[in-house]
C-alpha cells in the first residue's frame, strides 16, 4: 500500500497554569480579556496559560505522524496557513521526502516575503510530523535518519526561576541543584533588583561549580548590553542570551567583540538564512535553535552551519506538549556541536501526562525517547484536549 500523505489536520492544545510563564505578573502587567499580558521588562506578550498548535498527518496506509509549533498567541493564524495552504500541497507526497517537501512549501511564498513568522511556524509543524512519519515507516528513531545517534543522553540546564523574589529564585535553583542539575539560566525581565544582583545571589547560593547564564530578552541597545554583561562577569557569567533587539545585527556584533562572555542567539530565527549574516559578523559563540520555530529540516541546517563555523549549539525549549521537544532531542542527538539543551521545568514537569513514551529529564540530563519516529505520542488525555478551532 502507498505510504503517501492522505490527510493533514491542525489542532490547538491549551492548558491552564498556576502562574504565568516567568512568574506572577508585576505591577502594570495585568492580563487582558484574552488572558494575554505584556512583560514590561521586554515589551513582549505572553499568555497566562500554555498553548501550542499540533499537526496530525496520516498516510494512505494509516500511519500517523505528529508535529507541533508555537500557539502562544493567535493560533488560528498558524492553523489557517496549514489548513488553507500548506496541507493540500503536502497531500500525496512521500514522508521520506520531508526536506524536499519543506523546500517546496517554503518556496510557495518566498517572493512575497513570507520567510519567517507564522508562515514558517506552520511549515515547521508539518516538517516535524513528516520526519516522525518517516521514522515510523522506517522503524527507527528520527536521529538515525539525520545521520546517526551520537549520544543517548543530553546535558540539560534549568531555565526560568518563576518566583517573585531574588531569594526565592535562588532557593528554587538550589532545589534543582540538589536533584543533580549544575547549569542554570535566569531571565532579565523578572530580575527585579537588576541582573548583577540576581547573578550575585545565585552564585552565592549555588557555589562556584554552577554555570549561570542570563537571558537578556532582546531588551537593550548594544551599549546597555555591554554595560550589563560587564556588571555580571565578576560573578561568573556562563553566556549572555539575546542581548540586543533581533534586528540589530551590527549591535550584536559590537557586543560580541566587546566582552569575553559567550553571546548566544537564535531562538527566534526561522531558517539558516537568519544565521548566515550573523556568522559573517562574528556575532555569536552559541546558537540556540528552537524546534517549534524551525522544524527538523531547518534545525539541522542551522546545526550543520554551526559545526562548520565552530559554534556551540545549545537548543532552546519553549511552551508545548512535548512533541517538538522530542523532535529537538532527536535532532540534537545527531549533531556534533551540541553542548547541552534547555530544560523548561515549569512546562515539562506538569505536562508529562500529555505524552506516551519514555522521554525524561533527570539528574541533569535528558534521556532520549526510544522507539521509531520521535519516540513519543500524544496521550489519551492530550488527544481529548485537542480542538480544531
97-108 burial, b at 16+ Cβ within 10 Å, e below that, comes to ebbebbeebbee
**Residue % of the chain over a pLDDT of 90:** 94
Instruction: Give the other-Cβ count within 10 Å of 247's Cβ.
Output: 9
Average pLDDT over the chain, rounded to an integer: 96
Q: What does the pLDDT read at residue 74?
A: 96
The residues facing 362 across adjacent strands are 365
8 Å CB contact between 249 and 283: yes
Question: In order of start, what are the domains of the chain with their CATH numbers?
Answer: 5-144 (3.30.390.10), 148-370 (3.20.20.120)
Q: What does the pLDDT read at residue 2?
A: 63
> How many residues are there in the chain?
389
Is the pLDDT at 1 greater than 50? The verdict is no
Mean pLDDT to the nearest integer, 58-69: 98
Is the pLDDT at 22 greater than 90? The verdict is no
Convert the pLDDT of each residue in 3-16 to its tens digit.
Answer: 999 999 999 999 99
Convert the pLDDT of each residue in 180-221 to its tens digit.
Answer: 999 999 999 999 999 999 999 999 999 999 999 999 999 999
For residue 213, give the nearest of 178, 180, 189, 188 by alpha carbon. Answer: 188
Give the Cα separation of 275 and 263 in Å (integer): 14
Q: What does the pLDDT read at residue 177?
A: 98
Mean pLDDT to the nearest integer, 164-177: 97
User: Element (H or E) spanning 10, and its range?
Assistant: strand 5-16
Q: Give whole-number Cα distances, 290 to 25, 42, 140, 188, 197, in Å.
A: 25, 19, 23, 20, 29
Give the Cα separation of 292 and 205 in Å (integer): 33
DSSP string, 155-203: EEEEE----SSHHHHHHHHHHHHTTT--EEEEEGGG-TT-HHHHHHHHH
The three cell numbers of residue 50 are 500554555
Hey, is 288 helix, strand or coil? coil
Give the Cα separation of 56 and 373 in Å (integer): 14
Cell numbers 549533531 label which residue? 335
Is the pLDDT at 117 greater than 60? The verdict is yes
**Residue % of the chain over a pLDDT of 70:** 99
Is the pLDDT at 104 greater than 60? The verdict is yes
Give the Cα separation of 48 and 17 in Å (integer): 7
Q: What does the pLDDT read at residue 23?
A: 86
Report the helix count and the strand count for the chain, using DSSP H and E. Answer: 14, 17
Convert the pLDDT of each residue in 155-165 to its tens digit.
Answer: 999 999 999 99
Which residue spans within 17-99 are E strands per DSSP?
36-39, 44-47, 49-59, 64-70
Amino acid at each position: 500500500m502507498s505510504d503517501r500523505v492522505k490527510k493533514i489536520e491542525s489542532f490547538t492544545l491549551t492548558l491552564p497554569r498556576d502562574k504565568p510563564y516567568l512568574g506572577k505578573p508585576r505591577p502594570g502587567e495585568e492580563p487582558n480579556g484574552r488572558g494575554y499580558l505584556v512583560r514590561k521588562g521586554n515589551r513582549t506578550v505572553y499568555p497566562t496559560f500554555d498553548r501550542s498548535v499540533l499537526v496530525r498527518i496520516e498516510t494512505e496506509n494509516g500511519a500517523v505522524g505528529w508535529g507541533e509549533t508555537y500557539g502562544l498567541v493567535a493560533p488560528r493564524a498558524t492553523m489557517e496557513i496549514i489548513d488553507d495552504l500548506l496541507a493540500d500541497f503536502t497531500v500525496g507526497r512521500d514522508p521520506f521526502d520531508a526536506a524536499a517537501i519543506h523546500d517546496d512549501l517554503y518556496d510557495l511564498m518566498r517572493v512575497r516575503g513570507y520567510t519567517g513568522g507564522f508562515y514558517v511556524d506552520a511549515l515547521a509543524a508539518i516538517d516535524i510530523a513528516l520526519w516522525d512519519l518517516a521514522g515510523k515507516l522506517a522503524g527507527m528513531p528520527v536521529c538515525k535518519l539525520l545521520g546517526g545517534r551520537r549520544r543517548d543522553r543530553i546535558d540539560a540546564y534549568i531555565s526560568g526561576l518563576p518566583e517573585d523574589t531574588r531569594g526565592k529564585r535562588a532557593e528554587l535553583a538550589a532545589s534543582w541543584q540538589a536533584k543533580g542539575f549544575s547549569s542554570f539560566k535566569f531571565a532579565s525581565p523578572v530580575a527585579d533588583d537588576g541582573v548583577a544582583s540576581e547573578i550575585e545571589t545565585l552564585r552565592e547560593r549555588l557555589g562556584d561549580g554552577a554555570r549561570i547564564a542570563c537571558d537578556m530578552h532582546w531588551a537593550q541597545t548594544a551599549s546597555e548590553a555591554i554595560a550589563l554583561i560587564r556588571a555580571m562577569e565578576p560573578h561568573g557569567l556562563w553566556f549572555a542570551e539575546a542581548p540586543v533587539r533581533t534586528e540589530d545585527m551590527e549591535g550584536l556584533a559590537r557586543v560580541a567583540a566587546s566582552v569575553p562572555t559567550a553571546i548566544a542567539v537564535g531562538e527566534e530565527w526561522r531558517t539558516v538564512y537568519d544565521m548566515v549574516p550573523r556568522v559573517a559578523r562574528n556575532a555569536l559563540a552559541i546558537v540556540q535553535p528552537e524546534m517549534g520555530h524551525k522544524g527538523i529540516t531547518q534545525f539541522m541546517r542551522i546545526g550543520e552551519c554551526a559545526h562548520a563555523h565552530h559554534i556551540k549549539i545549545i537548543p532552546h525549549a519553549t511552551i508545548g506538549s512535548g512533541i517538538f521537544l522530542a523532535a529537538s532531542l532527536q535532532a540534537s542527538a545527531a549533531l556534533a556541536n551540541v553542548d547541552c539543551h534547555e530544560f523548561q521545568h515549569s512546562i515539562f514537569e506538569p505536562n508529562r501526562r500529555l505524552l506516551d513514551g519514555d522521554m525524561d529529564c533527570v539528574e541533569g540530563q535528558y534521556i532520549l525517547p526510544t522507539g521509531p519516529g520521535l519516540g513519543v505520542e500524544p496521550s489519551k488525555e492530550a488527544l481529548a484536549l485537542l480542538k480544531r478551532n
